């Protein structure tokens, strides 16, 4: 049950987290998944991540460029667009407001640990 709950929480915020992974420059899917894992979000599989990246690209929030590799398969690199940066800023604020509301409900006396 805990895994299902965690999956539901992640689904609601994954687009925002993927945009956040691109704030310092371009990256490709595997590296984005690794960054999310290092942040403590668990393993994000390609079947979850790549539809998010495609949706963000279709929305004009990221741009993608395929690059051939000297060895092995090529990679698709993603970078934020200006619109993506604006969306990240707006949605980050909305998420933090939501997070604050949840914390207030969970800790009505104001103590959080």
pLDDT at res. 73: 87
Query: What's the pLDDT at 111?
Result: 61
| pLDDT for the residue numbered 3 | 64
pLDDT above 70: residue 112: no
Edge-to-edge strand ranges of the sheet holding 27-28 = 27-28, 75-80, 62-67
Whole-model pTM: value is 0.87
Rounded Cα distance, 113 and 101, in Å? 16
Tokens at 28, concatenated: 């490709």
User: pLDDT tens digit string along 38-94?
Assistant: 999 989 999 999 999 999 999 999 999 999 988 888 999 999 999 999 999 999 999
**Helices 29-36, 2-21: crossing angle, 10 deg rounding:** 120
Q: Nearest to residue 17, comparing CAs of 34, 36, 3, 1?
A: 36
């Amino acid at each position: 049950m805990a895994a299902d709950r965690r999956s539901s929480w992640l689904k609601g915020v994954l687009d925002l987290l993927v945009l956040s992974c691109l704030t310092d420059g371009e990256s490709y899917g595997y590296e984005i998944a690794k960054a999310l894992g290092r942040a403590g979000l668990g393993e994000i599989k390609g079947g979850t991540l790549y539809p998010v990246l495609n949706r963000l690209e279709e929305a004009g929030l990221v741009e993608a460029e395929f690059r051939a590799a000297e060895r092995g398969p090529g990679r698709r690199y993603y970078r934020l667009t200006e619109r993506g940066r604006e969306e990240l800023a707006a949605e980050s604020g909305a998420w933090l407001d939501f997070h604050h509301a949840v914390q207030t409900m969970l800790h009505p006396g104001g103590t959080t640990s």
